Amino acid sequence: MDKQTYNSKKFLLPESHRSMSCFHAKVMEDGILKLTIHDCKRSIQLKNDLNNHEEIQEAIEKLRNLADGVNSLLAFVMENYETTSSFD
């Protein structure tokens, strides 16, 4: 069976002239998962080998925990800080 690949890139503020923040998520043909988050001059990268069952579970846990943390922070900011525009 051929390995499935994934490749997604997105600027977090595509219309901004002040920010180059982006993410790049990919699963390569060799089964390596990489999620890189860039913010100006800094970046972090999560990496797992999806050929290893333990690392598949670790990847799922990392991604769930990251998504939960981001969603929790988003809810906090939206609840506690006013904005002049709607982001729905």
What is the residue range of 72's domain? 6-80
Instruction: Say if 88 falls within a structural domain.
Output: no
The angle at the Cα of 88, spanning 77 to 69, to the nearest 5 degrees, equals 40
Percent of the chain with pLDDT over 70: 94
> How does pLDDT run across 37-51, given as a tens digit for each residue?
999 889 999 999 999
- Provide the domain count of the chain: 1
- Give the Å distances, CA to CA, from 75 to 3, 70, 85: 36, 9, 16
Q: How far apart are CA 66 and CA 53, in angstroms?
A: 20
Whether residue 45 is contained in a domain is answered as yes
12 lies in some domain: yes
Mean pLDDT by 10 residues, the chain (88 residues): 89 91 97 95 95 97 98 96 70
